[in-house]
Amino acid sequence: MLLAIDAGNTNVVFALLDGREIKTRWRIATDPRRTADEYAVWLNQLLMLEGYAMADVDAVIVATVVPRALHNLQVLADKYFKTSALVAGQSPVDWGIELDVAEPASVGADRVVNAIAAHHLYEGDLIVIDFGTATTFDVVDYRGAYKGGIIAPGINLSLDALVAAAAKLPRIAIAPPENRSVIGRTTADAMLIGVFWGYVAMMEGLVARMRAEIGRPTKVISTGGLAVLFNDNSDIFDAIAPDLTIQGLALLYERSLQTE
């Protein structure tokens, strides 16, 4: 079985796959100081709860945007799963798609992996929106080439910055407002409207501009934890793919086997 690891700025997601089928997944807060031994204790317990053992894992693949986290994940694979971790974007796990941008080496691994999975799952030109620490908008053309995109502050990051900079503003939870009024009657309501509906307006505006620039019919695919939340309050999404990054890692692993 394959252990796919998506190490992001906020969370590290571990998923156990049999072929392309995701059997189970777990997440833990990203901490570059977390050792391989700590990961192993945590994973061993979770695997047993799901009826698996560490010996069931015979391959590991990692995509990370946190370079300091990579070493301990590689040690985890070597020491506890008795296999060398494959790293997305590094031989033999080359991307296999064109990165048609000015600085290909600077594109985040998660964005490229999402592009690979989206092109495999959906036809035509695509915009992939990933709700993470940052919210990314990435364009994949009908041939599967990655064309670039947008990086915006994630909604939780925006809220944290607002609360940190304004002494009297309370901390609120991100949730759809109870009604569609955009005139807040309390401070908390005003904040929620600004953050939530402001974010919806930002997404809809950027997608409209991107579609106009692409100039062809374009599907919008969303992924990440807040995708469902926004899907209920906007009509810009054509599909929600919550496991897009993990699916992309599974595809990359398959391709690495074909090149051996």
What the block records as the tokens of 79 is 């020491």
Cα–Cα distance, 113 to 101 (Å, whole number): 15
Within 10 Å of residue 151's Cβ, how many Cβ atoms? 12
Cα–Cα distance, 117 to 222 (Å, whole number): 12
C-alpha neighbours within 13 Å on the C-beta side of residue 54 = 15
What element of type H or E holds 117?
Answer: helix 109-121
- Taking the CA atoms of the chain, what radius of gyration do you get in angstroms? 20
Cα–Cα distance, 24 to 104 (Å, whole number): 32
Q: Do residues 137 and 207 make contact, with C-beta atoms less than 8 angstroms apart?
A: yes
Active site residues: 110
